[in-house]
Structure 1
Amino acid sequence: MVASAICRFPGCFKWIRLCDPGTFLCDDGGLIRMAAIQILIVEDDPMIVEMLAVMLRKLGYGISGIATSADEAIMQAIEGTPDLVLMDIGLEGRANGIAAATIIYQFFSIPVVFCTAHSGSEVINVAKQAQPFGYITKPFTDRDLFSVIEIAINNYLSTRTSGTDARKFKELLHIDAGVMFLDTGGRVLFMNPYAEHITGITHKQGFYHSVDKVINNFEMATKMQKQFPSLWEAIRESVVIGTGHDIIITTRKGKRKAVHLKIMVRKNNRNDIVGYILKLDENIGKSRTLNSF
């Protein structure tokens, strides 16, 4: 069996295969030296995680990370920028494996393969919502695993459109602005470190909760601005009229933060709205003034 990978040259997303250890043949015919396909394992059973890790390394794949819950999977997808995710369909927690896979593919364009102990039509039909690139039923052999990964990567590359590169999202972990991802119902899917600083809530604490629960104490910066009963209402109006809002957020510790809130719509490759990206720019000078009284 011959492992494959995605060319990481800027602007190139061609199918390449392993010739010798560490050397790959691109579709252009040139030999390049690079790492193998990186796979994120999302599984809450330690024994299955260990088995998958052994199999993947034996097949020549790399492991970008291991997550045991949906919130960890999303953070690992950003931090590790995997080429593919192996997702336990029966993942427990606030969001199951299907929900986690949907978020990862729609927001970050990372293909997902489901690992499941259930092969019934009902489970498969529900799982289709996440647009997975393959299924593998437990128990399975290394040859089964190899086949489903290779087909998934090949199908992904053949249907991939230029645009979203999951690696660019890693920059969100280091910018001096808060960034939050919401689904279409206003639930929090991701919070970067600066958003945690502004809200006083961690990504893990806020994950899959309503944005109104995460930011439950806010006001418009001036009385001249339209007042909203909830932040979600302000966000939805901002999407319609295309303007941001100046707001003051009070954290659970009583700190007040002066923030300019900007909302961007996130769409999938069919141009459907799948969520929203919130950018929270803090005016540090105003925040200091607010907390000096």
Structure 2
Amino acid sequence: MQVHFIGMGEVNMFNLAVALHKNGTVVTGSDEVFDESLKTMMEEQGLLSKGAGWFSDSIHTNLDAVVIGSKVQVDNPEMVKVQELGLPLFSFPDFLYEQAKYKTRVVIAGSQHHGTVTQMILHALEYNDVAVDYVTETSNGIHFTKENDFILIEASNQASSSLDATPQFQKYIPNIALLSDIATSEAGDSEQFCHFVDSVVKGGSITYNDEDVMVKELVEASENPIRKFPYATPAYQEEDGEIFLETPDGELPLEISGSDNLRSMAGAKWICQQMGVDEVEFYEAMSTFH
């Protein structure tokens, strides 16, 4: 399989390109500007052969797919060539869904705290030796295998591409979902989050922040036949600057603090339990999260 990335200087595009390359896909890519650290990694992986710029001769009929970044414009010379040749063209989230459609998709969405929830889930899974594929917005943040059933996706609020204004988090059709929060600045876009809730596979589940009024209202109003699991800030004590979480097995010292982080942890626990990590195993992992 041969895939070309237009806009590979975007971190998520680069992460996806590297993950495919490691699995044996022939990958090429281009962009007009590359962060120096990304450029070095691309050269090490053999993914950058022509330097910065757009090269229409990189587009040819042997390509099985072309993936475009969110910032790539319609008049981009490589885009023009793609359309002339009629090649299969995907936005980042559309292509990612194609790679993940036979896996159990666990999608974490929200305005501000979904990234923290995602990192907590990954930490708990790794601590308990539960192997999963994952997609995050950090460096080296995508891992694909053929054998793992679960894929954990930290879903971006960005538009899918210059050709498609649909937020990326609407594209993944989750089996298991979490909605962490909706910022005041995004209140006018609450309909987009309604679409996210309604996109959950029938019979799937959504875990949601019961303390965010807008999240609570739109999840509870959804008629999608899915299970709904609310979460909130757990009971805890603070002594001499240390945080102790109240659990069924007693007080658990934590290295994190603040209601936002503790609430995120409560959401992460619900997701981990649906991915095979029980409550005791989760809390043991969280005692080492910082």
Choose between structure 1 and 2 for higher RCO, CA contacts under 8 A separated by at least 6 residues. 2
Give TM-score, length-normalised by structure 1. Answer: 0.28
Give TM-score, length-normalised by structure 2. Answer: 0.28
